Amino acid sequence: MKSHKLSILLVSGLAIAAAAACGSDDSGDAGGKAGAAPGSAGPVSISVNCEPPKTNKAQRATFEEDLAAFQQLNPDIKIDKVTDAFPCYDPRTFEPKLASGELETVFYVNFPNVARLIESGQAADITPYVDEIETFKDFNSSIELFKKDGKVYGLPTDGYGMGLVYNREVFTKAGLDPNNPPKTWDEVRAAAKKIAELGPGYVGYGEYSGNNVGGWHFTASIYGRGGSVITDDGKKAAFNTPEGKAVLENLHQMRWVDNSMGSQLYIDWPSLMKAMAGGKMGMMLGAPDVLISLRNDFGGKFENYAITAQPEAKALFNGGAGYMINPKATPEQIRAGIKWIEYEFLTPGKGQLDYVRAKNANLTVGQPYPDLYRPDTPSGQAVNELRKANANIDASQFAGWVEGSKGIPPKAEPGPYAQEIYKILDTPMSAVLTRKDANIDQLLADAEAKVNALLASKG
Amino acid sequence: MTTASIPAAHGGRRQPTKLGRAVRRNVTAYGFLCGALICFAFFSWYPMVREVILSFQRTNFVDPPKWVGLENFRTVVNDPAFGPAWVNTALFTVLALLCGYGIPFVTAIVLNELRHARAYLRFVVYLPVMLPPAVSVLLFQWFYNPDYGLFNQILNLFHLPGLQWLNSTSTALISLVIVSTWMNMGSGTLIYLAALQTIPSELYEAAELDGAGLFRRIWHVTIPQTKLILLVMLLLQIVATMQVFIEPYLLTGGGPENATVSVVYLMYQYAFNFGNLNAGNALGLMLMIVLMVFSAIYLRVSRDNTV
C-alpha cells in the first residue's frame, strides 16, 4: 500500500515535470530581455557582448569609452547590458542563452559558426538595413560568408588569411635565415628537419590532430594546395585528390621519415599555441593574429615570431569573426545593433579602428588585420593609412605574409556542416601523425565515404 | 473526498478520515518530502523529461519546435563515430571496473591490516580525489608525454622501450583507464575501509582458530560481510564509467582515429560543436535507457541474491 502511494506521488511529480516541459515556450520573447517593445516611446534598448576582459585594461577602457560616446551620439539608443564572457562566442552557452532570452542583441561569432547559424535560423536577417552602413560597399569577400540566398545575416569585423608562422630565434639557432623563410613545402620540410636536429624538445613543424582542429588545418592546407573539401554544390566530399594526398603525405614524411614533428599530439587550439610560445617549435600554420595571441595569451616573446605566406598557396583559408543580431530582436533593435557594430568596428578612425587612440593607449598597432575592406576602396585606403601612420610594432614581422599573400584568393569554410566534416578529417590527420604504417589512400577513401554519407543525410 | 464532506454526527464537527489522520500525524514528514520532491522535479525529472521531448524534436530555440519522430536518432546512429563510441565506452567500463573496482578493494584490505601509518596512508590514497579532475588530467598529460614524460622515463630506467601512451590506438584507451582509476580510487578505498571496519573481529579470530589463512579469511569473512557495499559500488561504478567524458575530452580529443571517443564525448560534440542539441539529446536518451535497463536487471539479480 505504502509503495502504491509512493508510486502515485512519483508519477504525479513526473507528470508535473512533463506538463512544465511541454508548456515551456521555446519560441521565447521576440524582443528578448534586451529591449523596448516595437513602437514604444523612449530609446530602444540593446545589449552587446565581447567587451574586452578586465585583464586587458587598456582595450577595455577604449571599449567603455566608445559605449558612452556612442550613446551620447545616439540618444535614441540605450545599451543597457554589456557582457565580457570569454570566449565571446561559446557554443556551450549560445543555445541556452538564446532559449532563455539571455542572448545579447548584438553577438560575436567566429567564421566557422556563421554558416551554421544562418542555416539554422539563429541570426536575424539584416538585409533591409545594410544600405545604411557607409562602408558596406567596400567590404572584401569576407562579407560573402554572412550571405545566403541574397540575404545578409551579419557583418565581418575581423578577417585574415592563413600563413606560415615561424620562430625567428629558432631559425637562427638552426642556421636558417629568418629573413628568408620557406616558400615551398620542400623548403618547410628541410627547415623543420634542421630545427629538430637542434636537440631534444625541438620540433620543426607543429600540427593539430584532434577535437576538430585537425580537420580545420587539413582544410587550410588543402585549400593552399588548390584543393577543396567539398564540391561547389556542397553535396559531395572533394578531398580525396592528389592535393589531399599531398597534405597527408607531407605530414607523414615529416613525422616518420624526418622525425621533425616531435611525438606530442596537439588536440586543441591552445595546445599548439602553448608549444609555439614555448620557444622550441619552428613553424606552424596560422593567421597573423597568432602572433599577437602568442604574446598576449601564451607568454611568447613577440619579437621572436614572424609570419610569411602559406607555402605555394593557391587559395587562403578565410579566418576571422564578426557580429550577428539576435533573431528575436525587433526591427528597431536590429537597426540600433547595426549602428553600434558600424560605430565600434567598421568606421575608419573610430572605435576599434581609431589607431591614434590605440597607439596612445599602448595597444598594438601595425598588424595587417582586421582585413575587412578591398584595398582600392576609400575605407580600405583609410584603414591602411591610419594603421601605417600609427604603427607601434615591427610591421616587418608581418611583411612576408602581406607581400606573399597578395592576390591569393580567400576560400571559405566548407559549408554549414564544417564542424562535422572537421571531426571526420581529424582521423586521417591523427593517423598520419601516430602510425608509421598509415595507409593514406585508405584513410582518404574512408573519410570521403563518411563525409559523403554525412552530406547525403543532410539532404 | 466524498467521505470527508459528510457532516459529522456530533456537534457538526467532521470526523477525520483515516487518510486525514495519517496525514496530520505525518505532516512534518510530508513537508520534508515535498521539499525533496520539488528539488527532484526541477533538477532531475524536469531535465529528463525535457531531454526526452527534445530528442524527438528539431528546434532552433527561435521558431516553434517541430516534431521529427526518430530523425535525431537516425542522425546519431548513422554517425561513423557512433559504433566506436559505444565499443570504446563498453571497453572503458570493463577495464575501469577491473582496475577501479579491484584495486581500491585490495588497497582497503591492506590498509585495514596495517598497524602503523594507517592514517597517513589513508590520506595519501585519498589525496588524488582532492585534486580537481582537470588538474589530475593535465598532470597525466605530462606523465604520458612520449619524449620527456614520467612513465617513459621509468620504463627507460629498466631499459624498456618507451610507449606512445595517448598517441597510439592500442594504448590510448587503457591510458585513460589508468587516469580514471588514479583519480577515483581514493573514494572507493575509503568506503571499503569503512565497511571493513564494521566486520566483527571475532569472525576473523574464529576463522584463524579454524586454520584459515589470509586468502581464506578474505574469501569466507571479508567478502561475504561487505557484499552489500560491494554490490552497490559495482552499480555506481558502472553507471559512472559509462559516462566517461573528461578524460577523452582533455587528453585525447576522442583520438587518435576515434580510439577514445566515448558516448558522452560524442553527445558533447553534437550538442556544442555541431550545434545539434536535439541529436545530442537523442544520444543521451539512448545512454540513459541502456543504464536504466542495466540498473533494473542488476537490482533484480542482486535483490534475489541478497534476500
- Residues B165-206: pLDDT tens digits? 999 999 999 999 999 999 988 999 999 999 998 999 899 889
Higher pLDDT, A12 or B33: B33
The confidence band for B304, taking pLDDT boundaries of 50, 70 and 90, is low
Q: Give the Cα separation of A283 and A164 in Å (integer).
A: 7
Q: Is residue B4 part of a domain?
A: no
**Domain co-membership, A264 together with A410:** yes
The pLDDT value recorded for residue B306 is 57
Q: Out of A79-93, A216-230, B14-28, which region has the weakest mean confidence (pLDDT)?
A: B14-28
> A44-48 and A410-411 as β-strands: parallel, antiparallel, unpaired?
unpaired
Q: Report how far Cα A169 is from the mean position of its chain's Cα atoms.
A: 28
Q: Is residue A183 part of a domain?
A: yes
The pLDDT value recorded for residue A123 is 96
Could B167 and A98 be called an inter-chain contact, meaning their C-beta atoms sit closer than 8 Å?
A: no
User: Which whole-number Å values give the CA distances from A139 to A107, A157, A316, A371, A385, in the listed order?
Assistant: 20, 10, 17, 9, 17
| A72, pLDDT greater than 60 | yes
Q: Give the Cα separation of B240 and B219 in Å (integer).
A: 27
**Domain co-membership, A324 together with A280:** no
* pLDDT tens-place string over residues A286-333: 999 899 889 888 889 989 999 999 999 999 998 889 999 999 999 999
**Domain co-membership, A388 together with A365:** yes
Q: Give percent above pLDDT 70 in chain A.
A: 91
Contacts of A201 in chain B (CB under 8 A): 147-148
Q: Please tell me the total number of residues recorded for chain B in this structure.
A: 307
Which of A392, A421, A448 marks a domain boundary? A392
Can you tell me which residue has the cell 638552426?
A: A174
Could A430 and B257 be called an inter-chain contact, meaning their C-beta atoms sit closer than 8 Å?
A: yes
* Residue of A138, A131, A130 lying closest to A373 (CA atoms): A138
**Domain co-membership, A153 together with A178:** no
Q: Which residues, including other chains, have CB under 8 Å from residue A135's CB and lie 6 or more apart? A: A342, A346, A347, A348, A373, A379
Q: Is residue A29 part of a domain?
A: no
Touching check for A268 and chain B: CB below 8 Å?
Answer: yes
Q: Is residue A152 part of a domain?
A: yes
The pLDDT value recorded for residue B138 is 86
**Domain co-membership, A221 together with A105:** no
Q: What share of chain A is helix, strand, coil (3-state, %, to 5)?
A: 50, 15, 35
A256, A192 Cβ separation under 8 angstroms: no
Per the structure, the complete domain to which residue B178 belongs is given by 79-275
The pLDDT value recorded for residue B12 is 53
Q: Is residue A300 part of a domain?
A: yes
**Helices B46-55/B277-306 angle, 10° precision:** 120
In sequence order, the β-bridge partners of residue A424 are: none
Which residues between 142 and 181 in chain A have a beta carbon less than 8 angstroms from any beta carbon of chain B?
A: none
**Domain co-membership, A190 together with A277:** yes
The confidence band for A78, taking pLDDT boundaries of 50, 70 and 90, is very high
* pLDDT tens-place string over residues B107-124: 998 888 887 887 888 888
Contacts of A113 in chain B (CB under 8 A): 275
The pLDDT value recorded for residue A33 is 42
Residue of A1, A413, A419, A432 to mutate, testing the B interface (most B Cβ within 10 Å of its Cβ): A419
Contacts of B78 in chain A (CB under 8 A): 453, 457
**Domain co-membership, A268 together with A414:** yes
Q: Is residue B176 part of a domain?
A: yes
Q: Is residue A32 part of a domain?
A: no
Q: Give the Cα separation of A372 and A143 in Å (integer).
A: 8
Instruction: State the complex-level ipTM.
Output: 0.80
**Domain co-membership, A310 together with A443:** yes
The pLDDT value recorded for residue B201 is 87
**Domain co-membership, A298 together with A377:** no
The pLDDT value recorded for residue B32 is 86
| A40, pLDDT greater than 80 | no
Could B46 and A265 be called an inter-chain contact, meaning their C-beta atoms sit closer than 8 Å?
A: no
CA closest to A208 among chain B residues: B253
* pLDDT tens-place string over residues B243-295: 999 999 999 989 899 999 999 999 999 998 888 999 999 999 999 999 999 88
Compute, in degrees rounded to 10, the torsion defined by CA atoms A169, A170, A175, A179. -50
HSE of B295 in the Cβ direction (CA atoms, 13 Å)?
15
Which of A367, A392, A417 marks a domain boundary? A392
How close A21 gets to chain B, by Cα (Å)?
6
The confidence band for A19, taking pLDDT boundaries of 50, 70 and 90, is very low
B241, B93 Cβ separation under 8 angstroms: yes
Q: Is residue A5 part of a domain?
A: no
Compute, in degrees rounded to 10, the torsion defined by CA atoms B270, B275, B278, B281. 40
The confidence band for B71, taking pLDDT boundaries of 50, 70 and 90, is very high
Q: Give the Cα separation of A74 and A77 in Å (integer).
A: 6
- Domain total in chain A: 2
- Choose from A161-170, B17-26, B204-213, B293-302 the range with maximum mean pLDDT: A161-170
Higher pLDDT, A180 or B3: A180
Q: Give the Cα separation of B195 and A14 in Å (integer).
A: 35
DSSP, collapsed to helix, strand or coil, labels residue B158 as coil
The pLDDT value recorded for residue A159 is 85
DSSP conformational letter for A136: G
* pLDDT tens-place string over residues B73-86: 999 999 989 999 99
Q: Give the Cα separation of A334 and A17 in Å (integer).
A: 36
* pLDDT tens-place string over residues A327-366: 999 999 999 999 999 999 999 999 999 999 999 998 889 8
**Domain co-membership, A307 together with A447:** yes
* Torsional sign, CA B141, B146, B148, B150: positive
Of B53, B167, B277, the CB nearest to A22: B53
Q: Maximum Cα–Cα distance for chain B, whole Å?
A: 97
Cell numbers placing B166: 595517448
* CATH code for position B239: 1.10.3720.10
Q: How far separated are the first and last CA of chain B, in Å rounded? A: 40
User: Phi and psi dihedrals of A304, rounded to 5?
Assistant: -80, -15
Higher pLDDT, A407 or B1: A407
Per the structure, the complete domain to which residue A428 belongs is given by 163-318+398-457
**Helices B227-241/B277-306 angle, 10° precision:** 170
Helices (H), A406-438: 418-434
Can you tell me which residue has the cell 629538430?
A: A196
Could A262 and B147 be called an inter-chain contact, meaning their C-beta atoms sit closer than 8 Å?
A: yes
Contacts of B45 in chain A (CB under 8 A): 13-14, 17
Q: Is residue A77 part of a domain?
A: yes
| A241, pLDDT greater than 60 | yes
| B303, pLDDT greater than 80 | no
Q: Is residue A196 part of a domain?
A: yes
Q: Report how far Cα A322 is from the mean position of its chain's Cα atoms.
A: 9
| Contact pairs from chain A to chain B, CB under 8 Å | 133
* CATH code for position A88: 3.40.190.10
Q: Give the Cα separation of B130 and B183 in Å (integer).
A: 9
* Residue of B109, B104, B114, B102 lying closest to B225 (CA atoms): B109
Q: Give percent above pLDDT 90 in chain B.
A: 50
Q: Which residues, including other chains, have CB under 8 Å from residue A290's CB and lie 6 or more apart? A: A165, A273, A276, A284, A305, A307
DSSP, collapsed to helix, strand or coil, labels residue A432 as helix
Which of A336, A367, A392 marks a domain boundary? A392
Q: What is the mean pLDDT of chain B?
A: 88
* pLDDT tens-place string over residues A428-446: 999 999 999 999 999 999 9
| A379, pLDDT greater than 80 | yes
A192, A407 Cβ separation under 8 angstroms: no
Q: Is residue B186 part of a domain?
A: yes
- Domain total in chain B: 1
Q: Is residue B166 part of a domain?
A: yes
User: Which whole-number Å values give the CA distances from B91 to B86, B95, B242, B244, B259, in the listed order?
Assistant: 8, 6, 9, 11, 11
Q: Is residue B270 part of a domain?
A: yes
- The amino acid occupying position B41 is A
Residue of B44, B61, B63 to mutate, testing the A interface (most A Cβ within 10 Å of its Cβ): B61
Of A212, A214, A453, the CB nearest to B273: A212
DSSP conformational letter for A255: I
Q: Is residue B219 part of a domain?
A: yes
Cell numbers placing A262: 616531435
DSSP conformational letter for B271: I
| A11, pLDDT greater than 50 | no
**Domain co-membership, A377 together with A306:** no
Residue of A120, A203, A440, A446 to mutate, testing the B interface (most B Cβ within 10 Å of its Cβ): A120
Q: Give the Cα separation of B252 and B246 in Å (integer).
A: 10
What's the burial of A7, exposed, middle or buried (CB within 10 Å: 0-12/13-18/19+)?
exposed
How close A123 gets to chain B, by Cα (Å)?
9
Which residues between 326 and 345 in chain A have a beta carbon less than 8 angstroms from any beta carbon of chain B?
A: 327-328
Which residues between 361 and 400 in chain A have a beta carbon less than 8 angstroms from any beta carbon of chain B?
A: none
Q: Give the Cα separation of A85 and A96 in Å (integer).
A: 15
**Domain co-membership, A361 together with A217:** no
Q: What is the mean pLDDT of chain A?
A: 89
